[in-house]
Structure 1
Amino acid sequence: MDKIDFKRSLKPLYGPTKTKGIHLVDVPAMRFLMIDGHGDPNVSQDYRAAVEALYTISYALKAASKKQLERDYVVPPLEGLWWSKSMGSFKARKKNLWEWTMMIMVPEWVGPAMIDAVITKARRKKTLSALDHLRVELLEEGRAAQVLHIGSYDDEGPVIAKLHEQFLPGHGLEPIGKHHEIYLSDPRKVAPERLKTILRQPVRETA
């Protein structure tokens, strides 16, 4: 049985190299398990609970897909949408004022019935309060600018600024939608200076 790794099969979206720099991609509509929250991810219990619930369901879906459908895959990376009611708070890294949606992609062949069954089974096995807030949603980003950042999450600021203040205006584009991050590294196992994160911003042509 072949095992699909979306970082390879969707390499333009999940496998850019550092040498590529900021570049444009066309992102197809994809389904995600999502949980919304608020506050600093470094100290928020809700954030930890959301991530735990997302991984629990994602790994259970992988197992169900392999057993019932004979389709195996690597669980996709954790992703996050980030924004703030005040853009100044976002740029100033005032994380206690941030809003977020944490999410993990669901393969197209995994249907609603399987997802519902996995969630029901997870509730019986373990107390996961964040499951009450979990939903499945189709994300349609379309054209987007993205770049691979290698380093600490707290060092993303200059890269994001370059994307917004130089790349987008230079290509006649403006941002739409939310700042999107894709976490390719496990911060529990990888040193901060070696963390790999894709930074993505949906865009449109400037009117």
Structure 2
Amino acid sequence: MKTDFKKTIPTYKAPRGRFELVDVPDLQFLMIDGHGDPNTDGPFGDAIEALFPLAYWLKFFSKKELDRDYTVMPLEGLWWADDMETFTSARDKSLWDWTAMIMTPDWITAEHVETARDAVAAKSDPAALPLVRLETLSEGSAVQTLHVGPFDAEAPVLHALHHDFVPSQGLTMTGKHHEIYLSDMRRTAPEKLRTILRQPVAAT
């Protein structure tokens, strides 16, 4: 029996056209940190090329050796900058810091990841492979919504989230902007991209 965590973890669903307060469980991820415009050739592409081979190796290892099968989860990203207005106005992506990541079941251990790293290195050896780490992310309370459309059309949604909804609820932003890419950005037309936009929050 294969587990699809997008269906079993409620926070991998979000409403379109409105903001929703959720409680995000602690989850484990394969992660790589970087800086700069994700649309240019370089670190962000290198991160993806390292994360997915590892994620798929671990999935097949889990199915064969641990008798626990699951669907590889979508790419996700944490995004931040010294000035968060770079996300809602100027959209100067060269100033952005990021963490690219893929959620991984909690029964996958650091030892499993090291075995996977060695196996992937022997086959293709992606440049960013040594940078991948396994880490648990604790977000807790958050606001999220489903955005459908190009990534650059997110700015008005994020502005409303940051400046209208969050303060109107007596909340303050606490963590990093989080995006979950439900669509394959390589194969999906920009106007059809489905992305969960999430912002961790706390009571003021």
Q: TM-score range by the shorter chain?
A: over 0.9
In structure 1, what is the equivalent of residue 50 of structure 2?
A: 53
Report how many residues are paired. Answer: 203
CA distance in 1, matches of 2:30, 2:98: 14
Structure 1 gap ranges (5+): none
Q: SS state of the match for residue 73, structure 2? A: coil
In structure 1, what is the equivalent of residue 183 of structure 2?
A: 185
Matching residue within 65, 68, 72 for 1:68: 65
Q: TM-score, normalised by structure 1?
A: 0.94
Whether the 8 Å contact between 2:29 and 2:102 is mirrored in structure 1 is: yes
What is the identity, as a one-letter code, of the residue corresponding to 2:121? Answer: R
What is the identity, as a one-letter code, of the residue corresponding to 2:181? Answer: Y
Post-superposition shift, 1:138? 1.1
Instruction: Render the CA deviation track for 1:51-77: whole Å, top value 9, x for unaligned.
Output: 110111000100000000111111011
Post-superposition shift, 1:84? 1.1
What's the % identity of the aligned pairs? Answer: 51
What is the identity, as a one-letter code, of the residue corresponding to 1:82? Answer: W
Structure 2 gap ranges (5+): none
What is the identity, as a one-letter code, of the residue corresponding to 1:35? Answer: I
In structure 1, what is the equivalent of residue 2 of structure 2?
A: 3
Q: SS state of the match for residue 81, structure 1? A: strand
Which ranges of 4 or more aligned residues in structure 1 deviate by more than 4 Å? none
What is the identity, as a one-letter code, of the residue corresponding to 1:151? Answer: G
Instruction: Render the CA deviation track for 1:111-152: whole Å, top value 9, x for unaligned.
Output: 222111111111111121101211111110000000000010
In structure 1, what is the equivalent of residue 33 of structure 2?
A: 36
In structure 2, what is the equivalent of residue 169 of structure 1?
A: 167
Q: SS state of the match for residue 14, structure 2? A: coil
CA distance in 2, matches of 1:161, 1:144: 16
CA distance in 2, matches of 1:16, 1:178: 18
Q: TM-score, normalised by structure 2?
A: 0.96
